[in-house]
Amino acid sequence: MFTNRQLFLQHLGQTSVAPMMLEIVRAEGIYMYGPDGKQYIDLISGVSVSNTGHCHPKVVEAVKKQVGLYMHLMVYGEFIQSPQVKYAERLAEILPPALNSCYFVNSGSEAVEGALKLAKRFTGKSRIISFKNSYHGSTHGALSIQGSELYRNAFRPLLPDVFQISFNDEKSLDAIDNHTACVIVEPVQGEAGIIFPENDFLIKIRNKCDSTGALLIFDEIQTGFGRLGYMFAIDRFGVVPDILLLAKALGGGMPLGAFISSADIMSALATNPSLGHITTFGGHPVCCAAGLASLNVIIDEKLAGRCNSKSDLFRKELIHPLISEVRGEGLLLAVQLIDSSYIPYIIANAPGFGLVLDYFLFCDNAFRIAPPLIIGEEEIVMACNLLKKLLNDAGNNIKKK
Ligand code: PLP
Protein backbone atom coordinates (compact mmCIF):
# COMPACT_ATOMS: atom_id res chain seq x y z
CA MET A 1 0.00 0.00 0.00
CA PHE A 2 1.53 3.31 -1.06
CA THR A 3 0.97 6.49 0.91
CA ASN A 4 -0.52 9.54 -0.80
CA ARG A 5 2.90 11.13 -0.45
CA GLN A 6 4.52 8.31 -2.45
CA LEU A 7 1.73 8.29 -5.05
CA PHE A 8 2.03 12.08 -5.43
CA LEU A 9 5.69 11.71 -6.34
CA GLN A 10 5.11 8.65 -8.53
CA HIS A 11 2.10 9.69 -10.59
CA LEU A 12 1.81 13.47 -10.63
CA GLY A 13 3.93 15.56 -12.95
CA GLN A 14 6.23 17.60 -10.75
CA THR A 15 6.80 21.35 -11.03
CA SER A 16 10.09 21.26 -9.14
CA VAL A 17 12.34 18.90 -7.24
CA ALA A 18 11.23 20.46 -3.95
CA PRO A 19 7.41 20.63 -3.77
CA MET A 20 5.86 21.77 -0.47
CA MET A 21 4.32 18.27 0.02
CA LEU A 22 1.74 19.45 2.53
CA GLU A 23 -1.27 17.13 2.59
CA ILE A 24 -4.59 18.78 3.35
CA VAL A 25 -7.88 16.96 3.86
CA ARG A 26 -10.17 19.89 4.70
CA ALA A 27 -10.13 23.67 4.67
CA GLU A 28 -12.43 26.26 6.23
CA GLY A 29 -12.07 30.03 6.56
CA ILE A 30 -8.38 30.85 7.02
CA TYR A 31 -7.53 27.32 8.17
CA MET A 32 -6.38 24.14 6.45
CA TYR A 33 -6.25 20.76 8.19
CA GLY A 34 -3.91 17.82 7.63
CA PRO A 35 -4.80 14.10 7.84
CA ASP A 36 -3.66 14.10 11.50
CA GLY A 37 -5.99 17.02 12.30
CA LYS A 38 -3.10 19.53 12.47
CA GLN A 39 -4.29 23.09 11.77
CA TYR A 40 -2.47 25.47 9.45
CA ILE A 41 -3.16 29.18 9.05
CA ASP A 42 -3.28 30.02 5.37
CA LEU A 43 -1.22 33.18 4.92
CA ILE A 44 -1.19 33.08 1.11
CA SER A 45 -4.76 32.18 0.00
CA GLY A 46 -3.48 29.73 -2.62
CA VAL A 47 -1.68 32.78 -4.07
CA SER A 48 -4.43 35.42 -3.85
CA VAL A 49 -7.31 33.09 -4.71
CA SER A 50 -9.27 32.42 -1.53
CA ASN A 51 -10.15 36.05 -0.71
CA THR A 52 -13.38 35.02 1.06
CA GLY A 53 -11.63 32.12 2.78
CA HIS A 54 -11.94 28.41 2.17
CA CYS A 55 -15.40 26.94 1.69
CA HIS A 56 -17.30 30.14 2.50
CA PRO A 57 -20.86 28.88 3.19
CA LYS A 58 -22.38 31.24 0.60
CA VAL A 59 -19.94 30.08 -2.08
CA VAL A 60 -20.51 26.42 -1.23
CA GLU A 61 -24.27 26.97 -1.37
CA ALA A 62 -24.02 28.66 -4.80
CA VAL A 63 -21.88 25.80 -6.13
CA LYS A 64 -24.29 23.14 -4.84
CA LYS A 65 -27.28 24.98 -6.29
CA GLN A 66 -25.68 25.30 -9.72
CA VAL A 67 -24.41 21.71 -9.78
CA GLY A 68 -28.01 20.64 -9.21
CA LEU A 69 -29.19 22.68 -12.20
CA TYR A 70 -26.54 22.11 -14.85
CA MET A 71 -22.77 21.92 -15.32
CA HIS A 72 -21.21 22.11 -18.78
CA LEU A 73 -23.74 22.67 -21.57
CA MET A 74 -21.89 24.11 -24.54
CA VAL A 75 -18.61 25.83 -25.50
CA TYR A 76 -18.27 29.43 -24.29
CA GLY A 77 -20.22 32.07 -26.17
CA GLU A 78 -23.13 30.16 -27.68
CA PHE A 79 -25.77 29.45 -25.04
CA ILE A 80 -27.29 31.98 -22.65
CA GLN A 81 -26.19 30.62 -19.28
CA SER A 82 -27.52 32.70 -16.42
CA PRO A 83 -24.49 32.30 -14.04
CA GLN A 84 -22.28 33.88 -16.74
CA VAL A 85 -24.77 36.60 -17.58
CA LYS A 86 -25.40 37.55 -13.96
CA TYR A 87 -21.70 37.60 -13.11
CA ALA A 88 -20.77 39.69 -16.16
CA GLU A 89 -23.57 42.15 -15.29
CA ARG A 90 -22.36 42.43 -11.66
CA LEU A 91 -18.77 43.02 -12.80
CA ALA A 92 -19.95 45.73 -15.21
CA GLU A 93 -21.77 47.42 -12.31
CA ILE A 94 -18.61 47.73 -10.21
CA LEU A 95 -16.12 48.48 -13.01
CA PRO A 96 -15.69 51.73 -14.97
CA PRO A 97 -18.19 52.05 -17.89
CA ALA A 98 -15.48 51.36 -20.50
CA LEU A 99 -15.02 47.87 -19.05
CA ASN A 100 -18.46 46.44 -19.73
CA SER A 101 -17.80 43.41 -21.93
CA CYS A 102 -16.48 40.32 -20.18
CA TYR A 103 -14.98 37.35 -22.00
CA PHE A 104 -14.80 34.45 -19.55
CA VAL A 105 -11.98 31.89 -19.82
CA ASN A 106 -10.47 29.25 -17.51
CA SER A 107 -7.36 30.76 -15.99
CA GLY A 108 -5.13 33.78 -15.68
CA SER A 109 -2.83 32.59 -18.44
CA GLU A 110 -5.76 32.11 -20.81
CA ALA A 111 -7.01 35.61 -19.97
CA VAL A 112 -3.55 36.90 -20.95
CA GLU A 113 -3.63 34.94 -24.22
CA GLY A 114 -7.09 36.28 -25.06
CA ALA A 115 -6.10 39.86 -24.27
CA LEU A 116 -2.92 39.76 -26.37
CA LYS A 117 -4.88 38.35 -29.32
CA LEU A 118 -7.60 40.97 -28.85
CA ALA A 119 -5.05 43.80 -28.80
CA LYS A 120 -3.41 42.50 -31.99
CA ARG A 121 -6.73 42.17 -33.78
CA PHE A 122 -8.14 45.51 -32.62
CA THR A 123 -5.04 47.58 -33.42
CA GLY A 124 -3.81 45.59 -36.44
CA LYS A 125 -0.32 45.76 -34.87
CA SER A 126 1.86 43.06 -33.37
CA ARG A 127 4.32 44.65 -30.95
CA ILE A 128 3.79 43.84 -27.29
CA ILE A 129 5.49 45.68 -24.45
CA SER A 130 5.73 44.14 -21.00
CA PHE A 131 7.83 44.75 -17.92
CA LYS A 132 10.95 43.21 -16.46
CA ASN A 133 10.19 40.99 -13.44
CA SER A 134 6.54 40.73 -14.45
CA TYR A 135 4.65 37.46 -14.22
CA HIS A 136 1.64 36.84 -16.44
CA GLY A 137 1.40 33.05 -16.59
CA SER A 138 3.03 30.00 -18.06
CA THR A 139 1.44 29.31 -21.47
CA HIS A 140 3.55 30.16 -24.52
CA GLY A 141 2.14 33.66 -25.08
CA ALA A 142 2.17 34.51 -21.37
CA LEU A 143 5.68 33.11 -21.06
CA SER A 144 6.83 35.23 -24.03
CA ILE A 145 5.92 38.43 -22.18
CA GLN A 146 7.12 37.30 -18.75
CA GLY A 147 9.85 39.49 -17.33
CA SER A 148 12.40 36.79 -16.55
CA GLU A 149 15.02 35.83 -19.09
CA LEU A 150 15.78 32.64 -17.13
CA TYR A 151 12.29 31.21 -17.65
CA ARG A 152 11.80 32.61 -21.18
CA ASN A 153 15.10 31.37 -22.47
CA ALA A 154 14.27 27.76 -21.62
CA PHE A 155 11.54 27.71 -24.29
CA ARG A 156 12.71 29.77 -27.24
CA PRO A 157 11.62 30.46 -29.93
CA LEU A 158 8.75 32.38 -28.35
CA LEU A 159 6.31 35.02 -29.60
CA PRO A 160 8.16 37.59 -31.77
CA ASP A 161 7.98 41.40 -31.43
CA VAL A 162 7.87 41.39 -27.62
CA PHE A 163 9.92 43.92 -25.65
CA GLN A 164 10.49 44.17 -21.92
CA ILE A 165 10.94 47.56 -20.30
CA SER A 166 11.69 48.62 -16.72
CA PHE A 167 8.94 49.19 -14.16
CA ASN A 168 8.96 52.67 -12.60
CA ASP A 169 11.44 53.91 -15.24
CA GLU A 170 9.79 56.77 -17.11
CA LYS A 171 12.52 56.85 -19.76
CA SER A 172 11.82 53.24 -20.74
CA LEU A 173 8.32 54.27 -21.87
CA ASP A 174 9.97 55.70 -25.03
CA ALA A 175 9.78 52.11 -26.33
CA ILE A 176 6.00 52.48 -26.67
CA ASP A 177 5.45 53.80 -30.20
CA ASN A 178 3.07 53.69 -33.18
CA HIS A 179 3.96 50.03 -33.83
CA THR A 180 2.83 48.97 -30.38
CA ALA A 181 -0.36 46.89 -30.12
CA CYS A 182 -0.42 46.85 -26.35
CA VAL A 183 1.36 47.45 -23.10
CA ILE A 184 0.65 44.85 -20.44
CA VAL A 185 1.39 45.71 -16.83
CA GLU A 186 0.63 44.48 -13.34
CA PRO A 187 -0.42 47.72 -11.56
CA VAL A 188 1.46 46.35 -8.54
CA GLN A 189 4.13 43.84 -9.51
CA GLY A 190 3.37 40.70 -7.53
CA GLU A 191 6.05 38.10 -8.16
CA ALA A 192 8.71 40.83 -8.24
CA GLY A 193 8.05 41.12 -4.48
CA ILE A 194 5.13 43.60 -4.28
CA ILE A 195 6.51 46.59 -6.13
CA PHE A 196 4.22 49.63 -6.25
CA PRO A 197 4.20 52.14 -9.10
CA GLU A 198 5.96 55.39 -8.22
CA ASN A 199 5.63 58.97 -9.44
CA ASP A 200 2.33 58.39 -11.27
CA PHE A 201 3.97 55.69 -13.39
CA LEU A 202 0.62 54.13 -14.36
CA ILE A 203 -0.73 57.52 -15.48
CA LYS A 204 2.40 58.01 -17.57
CA ILE A 205 1.89 54.62 -19.24
CA ARG A 206 -1.77 55.49 -19.86
CA ASN A 207 -0.78 58.80 -21.48
CA LYS A 208 1.85 57.14 -23.67
CA CYS A 209 -0.68 54.54 -24.83
CA ASP A 210 -3.19 57.27 -25.62
CA SER A 211 -0.69 59.19 -27.71
CA THR A 212 0.46 56.13 -29.70
CA GLY A 213 -2.80 54.18 -30.05
CA ALA A 214 -1.50 51.22 -28.04
CA LEU A 215 -4.01 49.44 -25.82
CA LEU A 216 -3.27 49.38 -22.09
CA ILE A 217 -3.78 46.00 -20.42
CA PHE A 218 -3.89 45.78 -16.61
CA ASP A 219 -3.14 42.35 -15.20
CA GLU A 220 -5.12 42.44 -11.94
CA ILE A 221 -5.03 38.71 -11.55
CA GLN A 222 -3.31 39.07 -8.15
CA THR A 223 -4.44 42.55 -7.13
CA GLY A 224 -8.16 42.20 -7.86
CA PHE A 225 -11.11 41.61 -5.55
CA GLY A 226 -10.13 43.67 -2.56
CA ARG A 227 -6.60 42.53 -1.95
CA LEU A 228 -5.08 46.03 -2.04
CA GLY A 229 -7.74 47.51 0.22
CA TYR A 230 -9.70 48.59 -2.88
CA MET A 231 -11.84 46.35 -5.05
CA PHE A 232 -9.35 46.80 -7.90
CA ALA A 233 -6.02 48.57 -8.44
CA ILE A 234 -7.98 50.67 -10.96
CA ASP A 235 -9.75 52.25 -7.96
CA ARG A 236 -6.53 52.59 -5.96
CA PHE A 237 -4.61 54.40 -8.72
CA GLY A 238 -7.43 56.05 -10.68
CA VAL A 239 -6.20 54.71 -14.02
CA VAL A 240 -8.52 52.78 -16.34
CA PRO A 241 -7.00 50.29 -18.79
CA ASP A 242 -8.46 49.31 -22.16
CA ILE A 243 -8.41 45.66 -21.17
CA LEU A 244 -8.57 44.29 -17.64
CA LEU A 245 -7.43 40.77 -16.74
CA LEU A 246 -8.96 38.91 -13.83
CA ALA A 247 -8.55 35.35 -12.52
CA LYS A 248 -7.52 33.83 -9.16
CA ALA A 249 -10.14 35.32 -6.74
CA LEU A 250 -12.55 35.83 -9.68
CA GLY A 251 -13.78 32.25 -9.26
CA GLY A 252 -14.18 32.28 -5.46
CA GLY A 253 -11.97 29.16 -5.28
CA MET A 254 -13.05 27.68 -8.62
CA PRO A 255 -11.00 27.99 -11.86
CA LEU A 256 -12.09 31.07 -13.78
CA GLY A 257 -10.42 33.88 -15.72
CA ALA A 258 -11.65 36.82 -17.76
CA PHE A 259 -10.46 39.55 -20.06
CA ILE A 260 -12.72 42.56 -19.91
CA SER A 261 -12.93 45.49 -22.31
CA SER A 262 -15.45 47.77 -24.03
CA ALA A 263 -18.01 46.13 -26.28
CA ASP A 264 -16.41 48.01 -29.20
CA ILE A 265 -12.90 46.62 -28.64
CA MET A 266 -14.23 43.18 -27.77
CA SER A 267 -16.14 42.93 -31.04
CA ALA A 268 -12.81 42.55 -32.87
CA LEU A 269 -12.73 38.87 -31.88
CA ALA A 270 -16.16 38.08 -33.30
CA THR A 271 -15.60 38.95 -36.97
CA ASN A 272 -13.11 38.63 -39.86
CA PRO A 273 -12.75 35.75 -39.08
CA SER A 274 -15.14 34.93 -36.28
CA LEU A 275 -14.14 32.75 -33.32
CA GLY A 276 -11.08 34.86 -32.47
CA HIS A 277 -10.81 32.99 -29.20
CA ILE A 278 -12.41 29.63 -28.57
CA THR A 279 -12.70 28.04 -25.16
CA THR A 280 -14.72 24.96 -24.24
CA PHE A 281 -14.94 25.41 -20.50
CA GLY A 282 -14.40 29.21 -20.29
CA GLY A 283 -16.97 30.74 -17.93
CA HIS A 284 -18.02 27.36 -16.57
CA PRO A 285 -21.43 27.90 -14.94
CA VAL A 286 -20.41 26.41 -11.60
CA CYS A 287 -17.31 28.63 -11.48
CA CYS A 288 -19.35 31.73 -12.37
CA ALA A 289 -21.91 30.94 -9.68
CA ALA A 290 -19.11 30.52 -7.12
CA GLY A 291 -17.36 33.70 -8.27
CA LEU A 292 -20.50 35.82 -8.08
CA ALA A 293 -21.30 34.53 -4.60
CA SER A 294 -17.75 35.31 -3.48
CA LEU A 295 -17.83 38.80 -5.01
CA ASN A 296 -21.11 39.53 -3.22
CA VAL A 297 -19.51 38.48 0.08
CA ILE A 298 -16.57 40.86 -0.57
CA ILE A 299 -18.99 43.71 -1.28
CA ASP A 300 -21.57 42.96 1.46
CA GLU A 301 -18.95 42.44 4.16
CA LYS A 302 -16.87 45.42 2.95
CA LEU A 303 -13.83 43.16 2.95
CA ALA A 304 -11.76 45.43 0.69
CA GLY A 305 -11.89 48.55 2.89
CA ARG A 306 -11.44 46.48 6.03
CA CYS A 307 -8.07 45.22 4.76
CA ASN A 308 -6.33 48.46 5.65
CA SER A 309 -6.53 48.19 9.44
CA LYS A 310 -5.56 44.50 9.13
CA SER A 311 -2.54 45.53 7.08
CA ASP A 312 -1.54 48.01 9.80
CA LEU A 313 -1.87 45.28 12.42
CA PHE A 314 0.47 42.96 10.47
CA ARG A 315 3.01 45.79 10.28
CA LYS A 316 2.69 46.53 14.00
CA GLU A 317 3.15 42.86 14.92
CA LEU A 318 5.86 41.98 12.41
CA ILE A 319 8.80 43.51 14.19
CA HIS A 320 11.73 41.13 14.44
CA PRO A 321 15.54 41.41 14.06
CA LEU A 322 15.42 39.32 10.85
CA ILE A 323 12.79 41.55 9.19
CA SER A 324 14.17 44.55 7.32
CA GLU A 325 10.92 45.75 5.72
CA VAL A 326 7.22 44.93 5.39
CA ARG A 327 6.10 46.22 1.98
CA GLY A 328 2.74 46.51 0.32
CA GLU A 329 -0.80 47.66 0.99
CA GLY A 330 -3.99 45.96 2.06
CA LEU A 331 -3.40 42.24 2.43
CA LEU A 332 -0.78 41.98 -0.30
CA LEU A 333 2.42 42.19 1.69
CA ALA A 334 6.05 41.25 1.21
CA VAL A 335 8.10 40.56 4.32
CA GLN A 336 11.69 41.32 3.42
CA LEU A 337 14.46 39.78 5.51
CA ILE A 338 17.96 40.99 6.21
CA ASP A 339 19.37 38.07 4.23
CA SER A 340 17.90 35.86 1.49
CA SER A 341 19.51 32.72 2.97
CA TYR A 342 16.74 32.51 5.60
CA ILE A 343 13.89 32.32 3.08
CA PRO A 344 14.06 28.64 1.97
CA TYR A 345 14.29 27.51 5.61
CA ILE A 346 11.32 29.66 6.61
CA ILE A 347 9.06 28.49 3.78
CA ALA A 348 10.00 24.82 4.29
CA ASN A 349 9.52 24.94 8.06
CA ALA A 350 6.36 27.10 8.17
CA PRO A 351 3.99 24.06 8.30
CA GLY A 352 5.79 22.78 11.40
CA PHE A 353 4.76 26.07 13.04
CA GLY A 354 1.17 25.79 11.76
CA LEU A 355 1.61 28.28 8.93
CA VAL A 356 1.44 28.19 5.14
CA LEU A 357 3.82 30.67 3.49
CA ASP A 358 5.21 31.05 -0.02
CA TYR A 359 8.06 32.48 -2.07
CA PHE A 360 7.96 35.19 -4.69
CA LEU A 361 9.17 34.05 -8.09
CA PHE A 362 11.51 36.99 -8.67
CA CYS A 363 12.42 38.25 -5.20
CA ASP A 364 14.60 35.97 -3.16
CA ASN A 365 14.92 37.99 0.06
CA ALA A 366 11.20 38.21 0.90
CA PHE A 367 8.17 35.99 1.45
CA ARG A 368 4.55 36.85 0.81
CA ILE A 369 1.72 37.47 3.21
CA ALA A 370 -1.65 37.45 1.44
CA PRO A 371 -4.17 35.74 3.72
CA PRO A 372 -7.90 35.42 3.03
CA LEU A 373 -9.42 38.89 3.48
CA ILE A 374 -11.75 37.50 6.15
CA ILE A 375 -8.86 37.02 8.58
CA GLY A 376 -9.72 38.49 12.00
CA GLU A 377 -7.55 40.66 14.25
CA GLU A 378 -6.98 37.94 16.84
CA GLU A 379 -6.03 35.54 14.06
CA ILE A 380 -3.51 38.07 12.72
CA VAL A 381 -1.88 38.39 16.13
CA MET A 382 -1.81 34.59 16.50
CA ALA A 383 -0.29 34.16 13.01
CA CYS A 384 2.35 36.84 13.67
CA ASN A 385 3.31 35.21 16.98
CA LEU A 386 3.81 31.89 15.21
CA LEU A 387 5.74 33.65 12.48
CA LYS A 388 8.07 35.30 14.99
CA LYS A 389 8.73 31.89 16.60
CA LEU A 390 9.55 30.57 13.14
CA LEU A 391 11.90 33.51 12.52
CA ASN A 392 13.64 32.86 15.88
CA ASP A 393 14.06 29.22 14.88
CA ALA A 394 15.45 30.23 11.48
CA GLY A 395 17.84 32.68 13.14
CA ASN A 396 19.15 29.97 15.50
CA ASN A 397 19.47 27.25 12.88
CA ILE A 398 20.95 29.25 10.01
CA LYS A 399 23.47 30.89 12.34
CA LYS A 400 24.66 27.50 13.60
CA LYS A 401 25.61 26.35 10.12
N1 PLP B 1 -0.91 37.11 -13.93
C2 PLP B 1 -0.50 37.24 -12.65
C3 PLP B 1 -0.21 38.60 -12.11
C4 PLP B 1 -0.35 36.11 -11.84
O5 PLP B 1 0.07 36.26 -10.57
C6 PLP B 1 -0.64 34.84 -12.38
C7 PLP B 1 -0.47 33.62 -11.56
O8 PLP B 1 0.19 33.59 -10.55
C9 PLP B 1 -1.06 34.74 -13.71
C10 PLP B 1 -1.18 35.89 -14.46
C11 PLP B 1 -1.36 33.40 -14.34
O12 PLP B 1 -2.53 32.89 -13.80
P13 PLP B 1 -2.81 31.30 -13.91
O14 PLP B 1 -1.85 30.61 -13.02
O15 PLP B 1 -4.26 31.17 -13.47
O16 PLP B 1 -2.66 30.92 -15.35
In DSSP notation, 217-256 reads EEE-TTTTTTTTSSSSHHHHHT---SEEEE-GGGGBTB--
- pLDDT, one tens digit per residue, over 199-242 is 999 999 999 999 999 999 999 999 999 999 999 999 999 999 99
pLDDT of residue 105: 98
Concatenate the DSSP letters of all residues of 347-389 into one string.
HHHGGGGTEE-EEETTEEEEEEE---TT--HHHHHHHHHHHHH
Task: Look at residue 12 and tell me whether its pLDDT is greater than 90.
Answer: yes
pLDDT of residue 399: 67
Concatenate the DSSP letters of all residues of 287-332 into one string.
HHHHHHHHHHHHHHTTHHHHHHHHHHHHHHH---TTEEEEEEETTE
Q: Can you tell me the mean pLDDT for 258-286?
A: 97
Helix, strand, or coil (residue 200) = coil
Domains and CATH numbers, the chain: 58-300 (3.40.640.10)
How far, in Å, is the centroid of ligand 1 from the Cα of 108?
Answer: 5
Centre a 10 Å sphere on the Cβ of residue 173 and count the other Cβ atoms it contains. 18
Q: What is the DSSP letter of 33?
A: E
Q: 338: exposed, middle or buried (C-beta count within 10 Å: 0-12, 13-18, 19+)?
A: middle
Amino acid identity at 110: E
Q: What is the DSSP letter of 281?
A: S
**Nearest by Cα to 401 from 328, 339, 317:** 339
Q: Can you tell me the mean pLDDT for 145-166?
A: 96
How far, in Å, is the centroid of ligand 1 from the Cα of 80?
Answer: 28
Nearest residue CA, atom 13 of ligand 1?
A: 108
156 neighbors 168 (Cβ within 8 angstroms): no
Task: Look at residue 170 and tell me whether its pLDDT is greater than 90.
Answer: yes
pLDDT band, residue 30 (cuts 50/70/90) = very high
Mutate to test the pocket of ligand 1, among 44, 109, 110, 139 (most ligand atoms within 8 A of CB): 109
pLDDT band, residue 398 (cuts 50/70/90) = confident
- pLDDT, one tens digit per residue, over 80-123 is 999 999 999 999 999 999 999 999 999 999 999 999 999 999 99
Backbone angles phi, psi at 197, to 5 degrees: -70, 145
How far, in Å, is the centroid of ligand 1 from the Cα of 247?
Answer: 7
Nearest residue CA, atom 2 of ligand 1?
A: 136
Cis preceding linkage at 35, omega within 30: no
Task: Look at residue 401 and tell me whether its pLDDT is greater than 60.
Answer: no
Atom of ligand 1 nearest to the CA of 191: 5
Mutate to test the pocket of ligand 1, among 48, 143, 191, 248 (most ligand atoms within 8 A of CB): 248
* Reported pTM: 0.98
Percent of the chain with pLDDT over 70: 99
Rounded CA-CA distance 253/382 in Å is 25
Atom of ligand 1 nearest to the CA of 255: 15
